[in-house]
Structure 1
């Protein structure tokens, strides 16, 4: 009997031992991996910087430029070296770190020039490009040369390249200037086919954020409004690049018919087309370009390349931390209730940061950097009230608007002592809406029905039933009240009557220059101007910036870099069906914001600009 039992139980014992071995093996591998990561980080942080030599700063910018990366630069650099993530075009770069780096290189005697190699630069919003361009112009004005090299340039790449003293293009290359466009998805027909009932509550003639649920195309009012500000942004682009290239905007971009005729004249040779239109200075092979750069910067025999250091390896000195502090707090992304998530502004998180700055005796002023299309009304009000408390405590608050500060993004701007926007900032969009979907017809079509009893119509709320008329009326009144509160806040902040605000509100999107004319902002400028104004209002002669950016944990680093590496190595057809790694969602958020899935206002009230974040 014992022999029979041993025969029967033996496979189970071996299976159990095998499972234990596999479990211990995996845990040990993970432990070794963590140890290697920790040792690598220690060596990276404590390694001595190489002795600098004279040469160029290679601006080999990869990925997107954002105002607030989801991963701190130092941690991303470590992750890139240790884990070998090759997802360059998914990488996030800090706008302010990049500008500070360019300014440090301008003052560095060992840096004798810049080489812009932008083939992996995926883009940035127009306001960020202008700010980077400002730093490039400062570098060039210092007397140090800038060279741009590339096999091709998209519009964002070419904008930065236009600040160079000389632009090189290889013989098979091209410069892609085509203009700007906005595109949104519209769902009305889909919702009709699915028998989904969409209940819309809104205020504002131009509040186009709800149009995707009501129409299959853009309304004439929204088309006129968007055409206005989009044309102005394109005009800013052309004016800047044309001035850099010392030609007129009409010469730079004569229009599609004229460009087609010019391309035919050179037999479709896009490189010669760019040369003849003065978009570039020289068409040459990579060898010829390298030879010319060697004459300027010299040759490094060991590296077998020109004397240059990558921007990601460049060691710049830490800025002085003397004097009082000015807090820099970000609102970057859609505004949601609760804590911050990648690509969003958490009402609780941001309000908490403002409160910390208000209570910190070393903080003498706040620069609130906003780059948001808006979102939840309740979260926006939470942030606004905390910012108002900071101002009432005696600490000056200066709002610096980035690419967009619209709807809820403008709501949270109202308590500021001073508002500064860039000429291409999208702002305004003062309006409120609510969206509730119900699925009673969808379920009914497949034979599923909902029934029950309630003590009042207001208690009988369910996505599986039609909305009670009493609730719909109350919801519309709530939206209208929210709009009145919005324009009242704006009127109080901008010294206008609610009637005056209403004329420029109604959900109308304004570009920065028009917002200045309409009195919605105080000054046209950039982040530097906002910092200077904050120092002026706080009467600070010596100060440094305290950046309110949370540091990622080691686990965040490992997961983010590992997922990015795996994602980058997948075939493109598979990538198309998978979501981007979590650390990159912020960069991709503007493509088509998830209106119903990302926003979570408890009363379903939103101050949100749908079209502001989708410029291509």
Structure 2
């Protein structure tokens, strides 16, 4: 018997040793991969790319274009090469890096033209596309030709392609022009079925951020307001693209009936429809396009392709942020939340510290605040606004450059500026405020759970498991109304208008940049270049350098980001094997609509946030 137990214990003992060996082997292999990746990144960062032969700049934009990416373009590229992220469309590109690359190539004698390869470009907001388009036009006007190639073109891809001298399209492709839309989920009935009591406090007829919890459809006021800016944005799109293609907007997009009629004439051939209606210049396969490009730019025997350098390999000089005449560029990109910044969100404390640093730096003569935010916490917005006001009071001009979105809290933090510059397609305004508290007393009551107790005051008798005291609800509404008056007061003082006049254009209403200029909410229509010019003018600077307040990620940050991206990229492929695509689309939509909840950390429960400012 003892021999039997000794044999069994031996099996377990050797099994345990084997498991330990496997565990240590895996950990050691992982450590080895980290070391090799670190060495590879260091060597690639230190090495300078060879001077390219004369040829094209390949603007092979991959992923999305944002103001301030979580990982810089260069580090992201190295991470993908070493760690093999499997979804390029997850990549973030800096808008300002893309524009600087195009402008550097324009002046480079080795770059004789450009190829726009846009198959992996996932899109950007319209003002960012306009800024890239401006750089493309400068490149083209310098005498260097641009060729766009694509299997098909989404609306964002086609916007950039329209700046090309020639647009190539696959014979099996299409140009997907369909218009713009907004779609929100409304779940009042769901909350009713779950017996959730939603206590809503708001000011603003058009402050529709809370409508999904109050209604099962869009209110008429919200529908009219959203229709105005959405149609204006679509008009801006059509005007630019049609002008580039030397068409009228009606020829470019004849509406659903016109497109169907045109497709009937081509037997449903979308590529032939695009060619006949001058949306593209030539139909050609990838091999045919490559042959044509090799005729124009020459043949690279080593790479067996035409002569080109990818935008990600192109050696652009590092911007000089030194000197005594600096203009600080500080970003507010994402929802505004209290505390430190997180990826994709603006931290009130982090941004305020950057502004304070610029204010106290004698070399910084002016500040550009680049705002691309739907807003968020009132408290965090005020922390940022007050620090900007202090910088202006210290004699440093403040210029706000609005990106695609500077609404609610995004406008709140813009009010101290000497000058506000917005794109014609910027979404701004949304001057309103709201608060939401959900309680679950009815949900719990339905399953036999009840809450009871004693308190020294009705204001102390607060719990999500019981209804809100009437006195607290009254206090909360008064607090929201006070916050709205503060918001309107800040805007009226900053814009030199009466509170009554601002109230007429406030009420939570969203305005397109063109209308915001007409209503006096912004000073000038323009882009980032205009903001730089204005900052230099206000600071009386004949020469200057830009000091970008951007945190460079360390290796560990890059590694974590790339591993996370790899996991996110792999999940859809695995999920698609077992889940239908409509369900996956709904899950993605739900995620996008609920991610904002992570930013709701205002200590007073008050928010200046534009949830309806999203375009499909």
- Normalization by structure 2: what TM-score? 0.95
- Structure 1 position 593, deviation (Å): 4.8
Are the counterparts in 1 of residues 335 and 596 from structure 2 also a CA contact under 8 Å?
Answer: no
Correspondence list, 1:15-414, <5 A: 15-321=15-321, 323=323, 324-414=325-415
- Structure 1 position 599, deviation (Å): 1.3
The CA distance in 1 between the partners of 2:137 and 2:169, in whole Å, is 21
- Structure 1 position 316, deviation (Å): 1.6
Q: What is the CA deviation profile of residues 51-104 of structure 1, one whole-angstrom value per residue up to 9, with x for unaligned ones?
A: 321000011111111111111222112101111212101111111100000000
Are the counterparts in 2 of residues 321 and 543 from structure 1 also a CA contact under 8 Å?
Answer: no
Q: Flag the 1:593–1:446 CA change in 2: closer, same or farther, 3 A.
A: closer
The CA distance in 1 between the partners of 2:462 and 2:319, in whole Å, is 57
Correspondence list, 1:368-517, <5 A: 368-517=369-518
Q: For residue 564 of structure 1, what is the aligned residue in structure 2?
A: 565
Are the counterparts in 1 of residues 439 and 464 from structure 2 also a CA contact under 8 Å?
Answer: yes
- Structure 1 position 361, deviation (Å): 1.7
Please say which of residues 14-23 and 27-36 is displaced more in the overlay.
Answer: 14-23
The CA distance in 2 between the partners of 1:149 and 1:426, in whole Å, is 31
**Paired residue secondary structure (1:116):** strand
Structure 1 gaps, min length 5 = 579-586
The CA distance in 2 between the partners of 1:134 and 1:590, in whole Å, is 34
The CA distance in 1 between the partners of 2:281 and 2:442, in whole Å, is 63
Q: Flag the 1:139–1:267 CA change in 2: closer, same or farther, 3 A.
A: same
Are the counterparts in 1 of residues 74 and 312 from structure 2 also a CA contact under 8 Å?
Answer: no
Are the counterparts in 2 of residues 58 and 308 from structure 1 also a CA contact under 8 Å?
Answer: yes
**Paired residue secondary structure (1:263):** helix
The CA distance in 2 between the partners of 1:172 and 1:492, in whole Å, is 57
Q: What is the CA deviation profile of residues 374-432 of structure 1, one whole-angstrom value per residue up to 9, with x for unaligned ones?
A: 11101100110111111111111100000010011000000111100000000010000
**Paired residue secondary structure (2:562):** helix
Structure 2 gaps, min length 5 = 580-587
Q: For residue 600 of structure 2, what is the aligned residue in structure 1?
A: 599
Are the counterparts in 1 of residues 440 and 464 from structure 2 also a CA contact under 8 Å?
Answer: yes
Q: What is the CA deviation profile of residues 133-160 of structure 1, one whole-angstrom value per residue up to 9, with x for unaligned ones?
A: 0010010000000000111101000000
Q: How many residues align?
A: 607
Q: What is the CA deviation profile of residues 186-239 of structure 1, one whole-angstrom value per residue up to 9, with x for unaligned ones?
A: 110110110000000010010000100000110000000000000000000000
- Structure 1 position 5, deviation (Å): 8.6
- Structure 1 position 288, deviation (Å): 2.6
Q: Flag the 1:589–1:216 CA change in 2: closer, same or farther, 3 A.
A: closer
Q: Flag the 1:332–1:320 CA change in 2: closer, same or farther, 3 A.
A: closer
- Structure 1 position 30, deviation (Å): 2.6
The CA distance in 2 between the partners of 1:75 and 1:28, in whole Å, is 25
The CA distance in 2 between the partners of 1:352 and 1:64, in whole Å, is 28
Q: What is the CA deviation profile of residues 337-383 of structure 1, one whole-angstrom value per residue up to 9, with x for unaligned ones?
A: 11111221111111111111111122111100000011110110011
**Paired residue secondary structure (1:364):** strand
- Structure 1 position 555, deviation (Å): 1.8
The CA distance in 1 between the partners of 2:590 and 2:306, in whole Å, is 38
Are the counterparts in 1 of residues 186 and 211 from structure 2 also a CA contact under 8 Å?
Answer: yes
Are the counterparts in 1 of residues 57 and 308 from structure 2 also a CA contact under 8 Å?
Answer: yes
Q: For residue 533 of structure 2, what is the aligned residue in structure 1?
A: 532
Q: Flag the 1:88–1:576 CA change in 2: closer, same or farther, 3 A.
A: farther
**Paired residue secondary structure (2:328):** strand
The CA distance in 2 between the partners of 1:338 and 1:615, in whole Å, is 29
Q: Flag the 1:145–1:230 CA change in 2: closer, same or farther, 3 A.
A: same
Taking only aligned residues, the RMSD between alpha carbons, in angstroms, comes to: 2.0
The CA distance in 2 between the partners of 1:510 and 1:51, in whole Å, is 47
Q: What is the CA deviation profile of residues 548-571 of structure 1, one whole-angstrom value per residue up to 9, with x for unaligned ones?
A: 111222222112212322332345
Q: What is the CA deviation profile of residues 454-475 of structure 1, one whole-angstrom value per residue up to 9, with x for unaligned ones?
A: 1111111010000000000000
The CA distance in 1 between the partners of 2:596 and 2:33, in whole Å, is 39
Are the counterparts in 2 of residues 420 and 530 from structure 1 also a CA contact under 8 Å?
Answer: yes
- Structure 1 position 19, deviation (Å): 4.5
Q: What is the CA deviation profile of residues 255-292 of structure 1, one whole-angstrom value per residue up to 9, with x for unaligned ones?
A: 11111111101111111101111101111233332222
Q: Flag the 1:93–1:125 CA change in 2: closer, same or farther, 3 A.
A: same
